[in-house]
Structure 1
Amino acid sequence: MAEHKESSDSMAESLVEKITEKLHGDDSSSCSSDSDSDKKPNSSPSSVKAKTYRLFGREKPIHKVFGGGKPADIFLWRNKKISAGVLGSATAIWILFDLLEYHLLSLVCHILILLLAIFFLWSNAATFINKSPPRIPEVQLPEEPFLEVASVLMTETNRALAVLREIVSGGDLKKFLGVIGGLWVLSIVGTWCSFLTLFYICFVMVHTVPVLYEKYEDRVDKLAERAMIEIKKQYAVFDAKVLSKIPKGPLKDKKRA
């Protein structure tokens, strides 16, 4: 009887061990499946994001491309009052100097004459009516916005000079043809309007195109990707039919020798 009882106890213990092992195995498999399922959605967005095409090979946000800070806020209409004021001032300057053919020196002199006459008459009139003359506020322009604009201009100018140096050195034929075509189009546009009108058009485009691109970024990038694929196909055909048939000079052979 004792042996029978011991054998039944050992069978029960082995049965319990098998059940616990099976439960642990199911838990580990479910955990592994859950971890795999967790890894899949985390890995898929990164792979999709890595394949996303951005215009001009851009890797930073639009705000960082414009240097960040107050100039970028103005261009991207972060503060609508300041951006509208800047654009309105540029429009008024363009109307005065281009449409009305007003001269800058005459405008500055007339404004100063008007301001001096107003404050002078106001101060003298205040003494006759026994009132204190008006207190003229002290005006000082902030230094930070001018430094930020100068920094952005310096960075972009240095980048343009680096690109021009690379083009002049003959390293990239595609960039050379692109710059030549852009300058040719710019020369044609210059015959249609004055320099001030052209500058105003560029100024308006800087204040409108980036903010529209930021709003419809994904759609524009998809269209730009298709356009770049088509341009590359056409350039490959042009290279095969025209550029590859241009005879190379003996300068490279002499340099190698």
Structure 2
Amino acid sequence: MEDSHRLSVHRFLGGGLVADTLLWKKPFGGIVLLASATALWLLFELGGYNLLSFISNVLLLLISILFLWGKSASLLNRPLPPIPDLEISDQSVAKAADAMRAWINYALSIAHDVAVGRNLKFFVQVAFVLLVVSFIGNLFNFLTLIYIGVLLSLSVPVLYDKYQDHIDEKLCQTHRVFQTQYRKIEDNLRKRIPLPQQKEKKIQ
């Protein structure tokens, strides 16, 4: 019997097809995703293929097949290609715009807090994240990062679901160590970079 505090990874991932694929409950989907990602990474990285050329060639092949299919269908009295009317609804555009606006506002609020908020703790957190991203970006190119993300998404959730109790315990210990080190760094920064204090106005 599972503990009541145990996190349901399947529910956290949405509980649908994506969750089933990432947790390997439907192995076929995971195998297809892994094989496709590996094939594309090998094609671009080892084969030296260009992403723009690949997309153009795929689209060219696709429209050529559809064009020949449509021409032959009209000549041979066959059914046309089963292509639905592709149209983006106003609702989809509005949802995408709302989601993008929320992310942009969040990023702007972070920039505002760092620039004028004078929150040293928040500044150190943002600077640390940016340094980590910069370091990782220097080690791998964008396509390799996407491939690593696919590999992690197909391995981390299923491993966490299986060994959740042990991982949570180790993460708590690691978090306590980081918190201790972070407090030391923050105290040192406060001593070296004293923040200006607002002077109270004298009341005559």
TM-score (norm 1): 0.54
Distance in structure 1 (CA, Å) of the matches to 2:154 and 2:120: 32
Distance in structure 1 (CA, Å) of the matches to 2:24 and 2:43: 25
Q: Give the Å deviation of 1:254.
A: 5.2
| CA distance 1:66–1:92, change in 2 (3 Å) | same
Q: Give the Å deviation of 1:191.
A: 2.0
Instruction: Please provide the CA RMSD for this pair.
Output: 4.3
Matches within 5 A, 1:15-34: none
Which of 207, 212, 230 in structure 1 is aligned with 2:177?
230
Q: Which residue identity does 1:184 align to in structure 2? A: L
Q: Give the Å deviation of 1:239.
A: 3.5
Matches within 5 A, 1:1-257: 49=5, 61-111=8-58, 112-113=60-61, 116=64, 138=82, 158=102, 162=106, 165-166=109-110, 168-169=112-113, 170=117, 173-244=120-191, 246-250=193-197, 252-253=198-199
| CA distance 1:161–1:223, change in 2 (3 Å) | farther
Q: Which structure is larger by alpha-carbon Rg, 1 or 2?
A: 1
Structure 2's unaligned 5+ residue stretches are 85-94
Tell me what 2:89 maps to.
none
Q: Give the Å deviation of 1:241.
A: 4.1
TM-score (norm 2): 0.66
Q: Give the Å deviation of 1:87.
A: 2.0
Per-residue Cα deviation, 1:55-92 (whole angstroms, up to 9, x for no partner): xxxxx532333333222222222211112211211221
Q: Which residue identity does 1:253 align to in structure 2? A: K
| CA distance 1:207–1:223, change in 2 (3 Å) | same
> How many residues of Structure 1 are paired with residues of Structure 2 in the alignment?
188
| CA distance 1:113–1:171, change in 2 (3 Å) | same
Higher relative contact order (CA 8 A, sep 6+): 2
Distance in structure 2 (CA, Å) of the matches to 1:218 and 1:69: 24
SS of match in other structure, 1:191: helix
Distance in structure 2 (CA, Å) of the matches to 1:86 and 1:238: 42
Tell me what 1:37 maps to.
none
User: Is the 8 Å Cα contact of residues 96 and 102 (structure 1) preserved in structure 2?
Assistant: yes
Distance in structure 2 (CA, Å) of the matches to 1:203 and 1:249: 46
Per-residue Cα deviation, 1:142-199 (whole angstroms, up to 9, x for no partner): xxxxxxxxx8xx8799479637725742486444323321221221222222211122
User: Is the 8 Å Cα contact of residues 167 and 175 (structure 1) preserved in structure 2?
Assistant: no
Which is worse superposed, 63-72 or 82-91?
63-72
SS of match in other structure, 2:199: helix
